[in-house]
Amino acid sequence: MQTRRNLLKSGAGVAAGSVFHIGSTAHADSPLKVDSQFEGSIQNVPRWENVLPVPSPPRPLSVQQIPPAYGGKAVGNVFHGVAPEYLTAPADWNMQNTQFYAMAAKAGEARILPPSMGLTTPIWGYAIARPDGTFGPAISPGPQFRFKGGTPVVVRTTNQLPEEISTHLHGGHWPSHSDGHASFLVLPGESRDYFYPNVLPRRKDGSFDFTESPSSMWYHDHAADLTASHVARGMAGTTVGFDSLELDLIKRNVLPGIPGQSDENTIYNNPYDLFLALGDKVFHPSGAIWYDTNNNNGYLGNVETINGAAYPRFTVEARKYRFRFLGASTARHRRIRLSDNSQMLRIGNDAWLFPKGQTVQAFGISPGKRVDVIIDFSRYKPGTQVFLENILEQTNERGPEGSLEQIERPDVAGTPAFIHQLLRFDVVAANPAIPNASINAQSELRPHEPLAASEVEIRRSFRFERKNGHWAINGMFYDERIANAVPRLGSVEEWTLENSSGGWWHPIHIHLESHQQVVNLTTGARPLYQNSFKQDVTMLGPNSAIVIRMRFRTFLGPFMFHCHNNEHEDVEMMFQFEVAESGSRRALPVSRFFA
Amino acid sequence: MVNARWLRLGPALLTLCLLRQPGVTMAADRARIGVQETGALLMRREFAESMPDPVLINQHGERLRFFTDLVKGHAVVINFFYTDCQNSCPLTNVTIRNLRSDFTTTVGRSVRFLSITAKAQTDTPEVIAPYARQHALDSAHPDVPDWQFLTGNPDEIRALRWHLGMREMDPVIDNDPSQHAATLVVGNHATGRWAKINPLIRPSLVREKTQRIIGWTSAQRYADIRAEVAASASGAPLPNPVRTAREVSLPAEPRDPTLPVLGILQAPLAGVERSGSQVSTSPLRGKVTVYGRIYTLCPHGSQAVLATMKRLNDTFAETGEFHLVALSPASPRETPEFFQTFANIAGADREDPWWFVTAGRQQINHFTQIGLGLEPPRPLPAEERLHPLEEEEHDLRLVLVDQQGRIRGRYEVFHPDPFLSQEAAWQIGADTAELLSTPPLTTTSP
């Protein structure tokens, strides 16, 4: 302990002589507490030693033709097969452009803790296949895929772990077979061909609905009973989606990027646009992740990580950056701001860009959510250090302090009572060859088409509650054979998501498409700006009821909807809906099951 | 239609569990676990062997250490019971009994069932011993998984319960043992895999989830699904299981948007409630009502009927739109006072929307046969009688009646096959919830 503290002091001392600190310093913030069953866990982790990991995207093994790495096995010729949609794709899905990848879920080692601690951490992560079909080392977060709208992708995923897995690519629009359904597993030693057609749902006139094109997606394990422990061990990764609208915004220098480069290539090479996946963990003194598989209320770590590194630093040019924040924790909610409380431009919620950005000083982010933000570092002199801070205290599994409304506020009033620093930005001079992006709160981004009340076919209500130590929805528990809702393909439904469980927070995630908030029945309030477009996770604070509308297009079910506190999800706070040719107001047995 | 479908799957599953050949596949699974990197094991909570290890006393008076003697290296199914538990424990015990009988032919004694009392102050070894005898008569059989009933120091047991993740943040709820009685903690110390299972979910799911954790090869699950599909579709085995693994399409069912209407309850029944007051079933219009006949000479039958009614009562009484009616012909023995005691044992409170109604034998028979559509009593030949007074066999199905007085389902919650009984009990709960589900809140559009 003594040596670590000294090291931290000396490190900070060196830095303090040569740079401008913005906001509070590394020592001044509030520590995170750890539950008593993790007594003896690592407490003091030196900050800003790690460098923020920035993943380089994998290249497809092949385009159009099956790659040699597939070992001569055609798509679908693996134990768990491929989605039937792969074989019946319409002509305008451009199947001739299909990109092929292969990935394995496997055990590995990672350097999450800073180098001075000399500890490595065993993880369960994902490894991309080399051209010869062998797999590289497992990493966490997993390989960052870059999916271009209109270009189909097949990822052959092999399970090299001793437990069953199911990979859910969160934020996209996928066939049921490929959606990472909690019961559509990849067994140990087996493979599944995940088919991601990257098609948009169609409007009533048959045209593709480009307002639904997803930008910020992430994938994580979703296997029934195992999701939380798998995610806590590292089974998550990010995926960037982009379409011609976004490339055009870069070409016109609205969004950060290198015009003429980031907007031209097919892999979206953009140094000014990155994911920040926020996680929290408890570490055993050996460096291993310490997770309590018997706690089904929520896992709160005392060490914060970003992109799989504890308290990293990141060197930024004095220009605008686009950061896609991801709530990759299983249970921790956060409220993020910059240490000098300066403004950021929030440009999206979950997978979708707003029509126009929103100026904020802080934003709330729950497990499963993504928040798309532009930060302009050109306001800082080179040599400045500015910190990214979480200002939301959460001391127990129930949820954070304060109300949903407080957490969602776009401004920060006064000095927060709780500050925990996550990341240090080191500002350097901008490369003058590349102009700063022009985006501001007036820039037109992605149009939005609201769902009207007149389109609603069926209304349903779902109450998320605690029942005899388990997590229930409408008093019932997840049953892989029951479609708890049966929406008609192409229809619009209105659902009331109600949280009546005393004091607990539930971020509710609905698969397949975005949903739109209509009204908060508890407060009577219309959704805040950031929630008035599209999202795939709706945060429910204690005793809140939020009405949402959603369309169910392109793919027949079943699909999941559940609490994205992964521990709650594992103890049955999960339902499924089966999109079907004809809808039903009542629950029905599921009619399709993609083992 | 829906009901019939789930019940039909029952026998298929039951047959399957007898046909399994677990030896080979389990060995393969174990090998895979064996080669996993030690790093993976480090992530397990048991890496630190931090489990509490209190001394517990079982029903035979043996002193055993929880972790060292019972959990270490083993697969376990743990629940917290108490001997005077009326509510969830009987149902949890039914689940455990079913699991033990299922596992007898498969995993046998490699899984242990540990029932730990949540009321150790009163559940002494002397109190637990007869309770255990009543529930685990067959533990001596060499293939039946062991079932230990354990007591010990109350504080240590509470710490253990907390450690297993059964902890409520509100101390009042936490100290109420009934809050913890409907949870199975299933774990496997060898693999470090643990989960909580609700014993009240679909019985086949309880079994499958448990199997996956205690070390059954998870590939077996797919054999289940394939065989189920085959059995319910054509009865013929599937030609190519690998092909069907890609898309297991369940057979097309008529997707009736509502529960079927099986009949209409015409005339109401008038009789005497256990309180002694005259009641009529006509005011129950507008509520979802479950009727059941109590045949007091058939203890197991009444127990099953009452246990299901109790569960329905606990789940739906609060809605104010639900009612239960237990029916029995009046006799010198079956008086309102008799049913007061009977209702107390069943756990029915005075305030509960639950009537115990007696009326003349002819009226009851008319109501159950013409009204509810139950079978007439069958005279029982002397050689089939389990009790000298048991002259007839009664149709003990529960009948679900909707707000409009239409019969929406009849459920065989007492069936010789306990698995089917449990499926039926589960189904009536699901269908009641369906009938009670009110139209969702409508909203004003912005």
Q: How confident is the model at residue B217 (pLDDT cuts 50, 70, 90)?
A: low
Rounded to an integer, what distance in angstroms lies between the CA atom of residue A448 and that of residue A217? 19
Query: How many C-beta atoms surround the C-beta of residue B165 within 10 A?
Result: 21
Task: Decide: helix, strand or coil at residue B393.
Answer: strand
Residue A270 lies in a domain: no
Angle (nearest 5°) at CA B278 between B274 and B284: 90
Rounded to an integer, what distance in angstroms lies between the CA atom of residue A64 and that of residue A76? 15
Rounded to an integer, what distance in angstroms lies between the CA atom of residue A39 and that of residue B276? 61
DSSP A553: -
Q: How confident is the model at residue B29 (pLDDT cuts 50, 70, 90)?
A: very low
Rounded to an integer, what distance in angstroms lies between the CA atom of residue A408 and that of residue A400? 12
Rounded to an integer, what distance in angstroms lies between the CA atom of residue B204 and that of residue A105? 29
Contacts of A586 in chain B (CB under 8 A): 257-259, 434, 437
Contacts of A468 in chain B (CB under 8 A): 88, 179-183, 198
Kindly tell me if the per-residue pLDDT of B379 is higher than 60.
Answer: yes
Q: In this predicted model, what pLDDT tens digit does every residue of A131-150 receive, in sequence order?
A: 999 999 999 999 999 999 99
Per the CB < 8 Å rule, is A595 touching B169?
no
Q: How confident is the model at residue B417 (pLDDT cuts 50, 70, 90)?
A: low
> Domain ends where: A177, A210, A244?
A244
Nearest chain B CA: its distance from A288 CA (Å): 6
Angle (nearest 5°) at CA A288 between A225 and B54: 70
Q: Which residue range(s) make up the domain with A240?
A: 62-244
Rounded to an integer, what distance in angstroms lies between the CA atom of residue A250 and that of residue A346? 17
Residue A453 contacts B, CB cutoff 8 Å: yes
Kindly tell me if the per-residue pLDDT of A408 is higher than 50.
Answer: yes
Q: Decide: A536 and A509 in contact? Cβ < 8 Å.
A: yes
> Which residues of chain A from 332 to 371 reach within 8 Å of chain B, CB to CB?
none
Tokens of B300: 């197991």
Q: Decide: A64 and A95 in contact? Cβ < 8 Å.
A: no
Rounded to an integer, what distance in angstroms lies between the CA atom of residue A506 and that of residue B360? 53
Per the CB < 8 Å rule, is B209 touching A122?
no
Q: What is the pLDDT of residue B9?
A: 30
Contacts of A545 in chain B (CB under 8 A): 441
> Which residues of chain A from 257 to 286 reach within 8 Å of chain B, CB to CB?
284, 286
Tokens of A181: 């359904």
The amino acid at residue A112 is I
Q: How confident is the model at residue B43 (pLDDT cuts 50, 70, 90)?
A: low
Rounded to an integer, what distance in angstroms lies between the CA atom of residue B250 and that of residue B254? 12
Residues A23-33 have a mean pLDDT of 68
Backbone angles phi, psi at A249, to 5 degrees: -65, -35
Per the CB < 8 Å rule, is B245 touching A79?
yes
Nearest chain A CA: its distance from B126 CA (Å): 29
Rounded to an integer, what distance in angstroms lies between the CA atom of residue B204 and that of residue A276? 42
Among residues B195, B138, B135, which one has the least CA distance to residue B164?
Answer: B195
Nearest chain A CA: its distance from B244 CA (Å): 9
Q: What is the pLDDT of residue A522?
A: 85
Among residues A335, A525, A528, A316, which one has the least CA distance to residue A422?
Answer: A335
Q: What is the pLDDT of residue A374?
A: 98
Q: Which of B25, B81, B246 to mutate to test the interface with A (most CBs of A within 10 A)?
A: B246
Nearest chain A CA: its distance from B59 CA (Å): 26
**Domains annotated on chain B, with CATH:** 36-217 (3.40.30.10), 263-381+389-436 (3.40.30.10)
Residue A420 lies in a domain: no
Residue A173 lies in a domain: yes
User: A562: exposed, middle or buried (C-beta count within 10 Å: 0-12, 13-18, 19+)?
Assistant: buried
Residue A128 lies in a domain: yes
- In total, the C-beta contacts within 8 angstroms joining chain A to chain B are 209
Q: Decide: B77 and B96 in contact? Cβ < 8 Å.
A: yes
Contacts of A162 in chain B (CB under 8 A): 32-33, 36, 40, 191
Residue A291 contacts B, CB cutoff 8 Å: yes
Query: How many C-beta atoms surround the C-beta of residue A503 within 10 A?
Result: 14
Query: How many C-beta atoms surround the C-beta of residue A50 within 10 A?
Result: 25
Q: Which residues pair with B406 in a beta bridge?
A: B264
Question: Which residue from A224, A291, A468 is facing B182, i.e. has the nearest CB?
Answer: A468
Q: Decide: A133 and A66 in contact? Cβ < 8 Å.
A: no
Nearest chain B CA: its distance from A11 CA (Å): 31
CATH number at residue A71: 2.60.40.420
Among residues A546, A174, A500, A144, which one has the least CA distance to residue A328?
Answer: A144
Which residue does chain A place closest to B39, by CA atoms? A122
Q: Decide: A349 and A533 in contact? Cβ < 8 Å.
A: yes
- Alpha-helical runs (H) found in A81-172: 84-87
Which residue does chain A place closest to B174, by CA atoms? A469
Per the CB < 8 Å rule, is B249 touching A284?
no
Rounded to an integer, what distance in angstroms lies between the CA atom of residue B175 and that of residue B168? 9
Work out the percent of chain A whose per-residue pLDDT is above 90. Answer: 74
Q: Residue A419: how many CA atoms within 13 Å on its side-chain side?
A: 23
Kindly tell me if the per-residue pLDDT of B142 is higher than 70.
Answer: no
The number of distinct structural domains making up chain A is 2
Question: Which residue from A81, A164, A526 is facing B218, i.e. has the nearest CB?
Answer: A164
The amino acid at residue B3 is N
Per the CB < 8 Å rule, is A288 touching B42?
yes
Which residue does chain A place closest to B32, by CA atoms? A162
Residue A107 contacts B, CB cutoff 8 Å: yes
Question: Which residue from A122, A590, A592 is facing B43, i.e. has the nearest CB?
Answer: A122
Which residue does chain A place closest to B163, by CA atoms? A294
Query: Angle, nearest 10°, between helix axes B89-104 and B418-436?
Result: 140
Kindly tell me if the per-residue pLDDT of B260 is higher than 80.
Answer: no
Residue A523 contacts B, CB cutoff 8 Å: no
Rounded to an integer, what distance in angstroms lies between the CA atom of residue A477 and that of residue A467? 10
Question: Which residue from B201, B218, B315 is facing A479, i.e. has the nearest CB?
Answer: B201
Contacts of B202 in chain A (CB under 8 A): 479, 481
Tokens of B187: 């774990």
Tokens of A350: 């979950």
Residue A37 contacts B, CB cutoff 8 Å: yes
Rounded to an integer, what distance in angstroms lies between the CA atom of residue A175 and that of residue A127? 23
Q: What is the pLDDT of residue B15?
A: 26
Query: Which residues are CB-contacts of B208 (< 8 A; sequence separation ≥ 6)?
Result: B221, B224
Query: Which residues are CB-contacts of A263 (< 8 A; sequence separation ≥ 6)?
Result: A247, A248, A250, A251, A257
Rounded to an integer, what distance in angstroms lies between the CA atom of residue A290 and that of residue B423? 39
Per the CB < 8 Å rule, is A475 touching B433?
yes
Q: Which of B255, B313, B316, B423 to mutate to test the interface with A (most CBs of A within 10 A)?
A: B255
Q: What is the pLDDT of residue A11?
A: 37
Question: Which residue from B32, B246, B444 is facing A162, i.e. has the nearest CB?
Answer: B32
Tokens of B76: 């376990």
Q: Output the CA torsion sign for B221, B222, B225, B231.
A: negative
Q: In this predicted model, what pLDDT tens digit does every residue of B231-246 receive, in sequence order?
A: 544 444 333 333 333 3
Residue A505 contacts B, CB cutoff 8 Å: no
Q: In this predicted model, what pLDDT tens digit does every residue of A232-275 receive, in sequence order?
A: 999 999 999 999 999 999 999 999 999 888 887 678 889 999 99
Backbone angles phi, psi at A493, to 5 degrees: -125, 160
Among A345-354, A437-446, B204-213, the minimum mean pLDDT is found in B204-213
Among A239-248, A367-376, B70-79, B100-109, the minimum mean pLDDT is found in B100-109
Rounded to an integer, what distance in angstroms lies between the CA atom of residue A568 and that of residue A563? 6
Q: What is the pLDDT of residue A575?
A: 96
Rounded to an integer, what distance in angstroms lies between the CA atom of residue A380 and that of residue A318? 7
Long-range own/partner contacts, residues A522-529 (CB < 8 A, 24 or more apart):
A523/A405, A525/A405, A526/B446, A528/A408, A528/A410, A529/A358, A529/A410
Among residues A201, A199, A239, which one has the least CA distance to residue A218?
Answer: A239
Angle (nearest 5°) at CA B18 between B13 and B20: 95
Which residue does chain A place closest to B446, by CA atoms? A518
Per the CB < 8 Å rule, is B249 touching A591?
yes
> What is the ipTM for the molecules in this complex?
0.85
User: A568: exposed, middle or buried (C-beta count within 10 Å: 0-12, 13-18, 19+)?
Assistant: buried
Q: What is the pLDDT of residue B224?
A: 56
> Which residues of chain A from 555 to 594 reach within 8 Å of chain B, CB to CB?
570-572, 580, 582, 584-594
> Domain ends where: A180, A211, A244?
A244
Interior/surface letters B384-398, b for 16+ CB within 10 angstroms, e for the rest: eeeeeeeeebbbbbb
Residue given tokens 């939301």 in the structure block: A392
Residue A257 lies in a domain: no
Residue given tokens 């579709």 in the structure block: B233
Question: Greater confidence, A470 or B298?
Answer: A470
Residue A115 contacts B, CB cutoff 8 Å: no
Residue A477 lies in a domain: yes
Query: Which residues are CB-contacts of A396 (< 8 A; sequence separation ≥ 6)?
Result: A300, B169
Rounded to an integer, what distance in angstroms lies between the CA atom of residue B229 and that of residue B236? 10
Per the CB < 8 Å rule, is B247 touching A81?
yes
Q: What is the pLDDT of residue B130?
A: 87
Q: Decide: B156 and B52 in contact? Cβ < 8 Å.
A: yes
Residue A312 lies in a domain: no
Which residue does chain A place closest to B41, by CA atoms? A122
Q: In this predicted model, what pLDDT tens digit does every residue of A550-573 receive, in sequence order?
A: 999 999 989 999 999 999 999 889
Rounded to an integer, what distance in angstroms lies between the CA atom of residue A224 and that of residue A574? 10
Mean pLDDT across chain A: 91
Residue A480 contacts B, CB cutoff 8 Å: yes
Per the CB < 8 Å rule, is A589 touching B440?
no
User: B235: exposed, middle or buried (C-beta count within 10 Å: 0-12, 13-18, 19+)?
Assistant: exposed
Sheet containing A559-563: order of strands = A537-540, A506-510, A559-563, A574-577
Rounded to an integer, what distance in angstroms lies between the CA atom of residue B64 and that of residue B53? 9
Question: Which residue from B169, B183, B443 is facing A398, i.e. has the nearest CB?
Answer: B169
Q: In this predicted model, what pLDDT tens digit does every residue of A495-548 receive, in sequence order?
A: 999 998 778 999 999 999 999 999 998 888 899 999 999 999 999 999 889 999
Sheet containing A470-473: order of strands = A470-473, A456-467, A492-499, A544-551, A515-520
Query: Angle, nearest 10°, between helix axes B2-19 and B203-214?
Result: 30
Nearest chain B CA: its distance from A434 CA (Å): 44
Residue A356 lies in a domain: no
User: B84: exposed, middle or buried (C-beta count within 10 Å: 0-12, 13-18, 19+)?
Assistant: exposed
Backbone angles phi, psi at B44, to 5 degrees: -70, 145
Q: Which of A158, A286, A293 to mutate to test the interface with B (most CBs of B within 10 A)?
A: A293
Per the CB < 8 Å rule, is B246 touching A82?
yes
> Which residues of chain A from 70 to 99 reach within 8 Å of chain B, CB to CB?
76, 79-82, 84
Rounded to an integer, what distance in angstroms lies between the CA atom of residue A372 and that of residue A255? 12
> Domain ends where: A211, A244, A277?
A244
Among A29-38, A315-324, B31-40, B307-316, the minimum mean pLDDT is found in B31-40
Residue given tokens 């590292």 in the structure block: A234
Q: What is the pLDDT of residue A4?
A: 39
